[in-house]
Structures are given as C-alpha cells and as structure tokens.
Amino acid sequence: MTNRVIPTVATIAVAVFALAACSKSTNATPAATVTVTTTVTASPAPVAASVVAAASSGGSAPASLAAAPDPCALLTKSEADTLAGTKLQAATDAGSGGVKTLCQYTGDPSGPTAQVEVIVGDGAKKALDIDRDTLGHPFKTVSGIGDECDQEDGNIFVRKGNVWVDINLVLLNDPAQDLQPMQAAARAVAARLP
C-alpha cells in the first residue's frame, strides 16, 4: 500500500499583525506574511481480511454481510409514506460488494421536508453504539418488537437474531409525535426479519 501525502499550506499573517500590535514601539512596522507548509501522511483505513480476500478473488461479500436482508424489502414505500406522514419518492438503495445495506426514501424537493432510512447490519449496530454509548443519547427500551428494540428521537433500532436494523426518520416536528409511528414501522420490519 502506498501512503498519500497531502501538502497543506497555511498563510499566517494574523500572528505577525498581533505581535506588531502588542509592541510598545511607536515605529510602524509593516506586517509580514509567513508561509508554513505542513505535510500530513494519511494511511488507508484497515479492511477486514475476509473483505480483502473476497474482493481480490473476485468473490462476493463475506457470508455475514451476504445474509443481511434487503433493506427496501423490510419497509415498503407505502409504510415509509405512512411513517413520514407525506408521500415520499421511490426508494434508493446503497451498499457495497453487491450487498444492499441502506434504503432511503426522500421527500419531494418542493416540500415538506421528510426522509426515511432503513439501515441493515453492522452499520445499524454501530449507529446504536455511538448514539447510546459515545454520545449518551437518551434511549427507551421498547418491549415486544424483535429480540431487542431501543428508541431515541429520530431512530429506532431493532435486533432479531444477529441482524440489526435502524429506522431513521427526519421530519421538522416534535419527535414525541413520532414515537408510536416509528414503533409500528419497527414491528413491520421485525416481522420480515428472518
């Protein structure tokens, strides 16, 4: 692997001006410009050995990723429309290695602002860990949905077996209004998980 070198050039005139302003001398000293060049070496992020092996052999994604259900099949457009309370555009999916891990329903560009995302797999679990453990967001445990269900403003996380799903809702309203609709969406998703 080769490292990329990113040259960064910063012009620092403010420091020279500040030094000149703090001086007790009555002589006016013209400001000077100092150029500092900093070199930053960025290393690529480590990639799991199984992903590298699959990519280099022309194979597909690892079995744990390949077993993840299609996120657009977990929450239909009609259900996303109901959750958002407005008609959304057709689903757009994304993922890597031929595995779909994101389904996004966006609102009409002319309004109102609305978006529903369904994230499946390790990314959903990582989002939960960051929000709960790192950022300290308040969560409510919701019983009766999947094997585990945790809800915060704008997100509801569901686990069934080893599969995690995050339903993210973006609306310009009081998040308390979305608690029950998000739980209904999570029930629908959990019922479709293997």
- State how far the alpha carbon of 194 is from the alpha carbons of 28, 52, 160, 163, 190, in Å: 77, 27, 8, 8, 8
**pLDDT, mean of residues 127-138:** 97
- Look at the pTM and tell me if it is higher than 0.85: no
pLDDT at 5 exceeding the cut of 70: no
Query: What does DSSP say about strands 155-160 and 92-96: parallel, antiparallel, or unpaired?
Result: unpaired
* pLDDT tens digits for range 19-39: 334 444 444 444 444 433 333
Please name every residue paired with 159 in a beta bridge, in sequence order, or none if there are none.
148, 164
Q: Which of 13-17, 49-53, 104-108, 109-113 has the highest mean pLDDT?
A: 104-108
Q: Residue 155, SS3?
A: strand
Q: Which domains are delineated in the chain?
A: 4-42 (no CATH), 67-192 (3.40.1000)
* Cα 156 to Cα 165: distance, rounded to the nearest angstrom: 8
pLDDT of residue 29: 44
Report the chain's mean pLDDT, rounded to a whole number: 76
CA nearest to 87, candidates 65, 114, 62? 114
Mean pLDDT of 95-122: 95
Query: In whole angstroms, what is the distance from residue 148 CA to residue 165 CA?
Result: 10
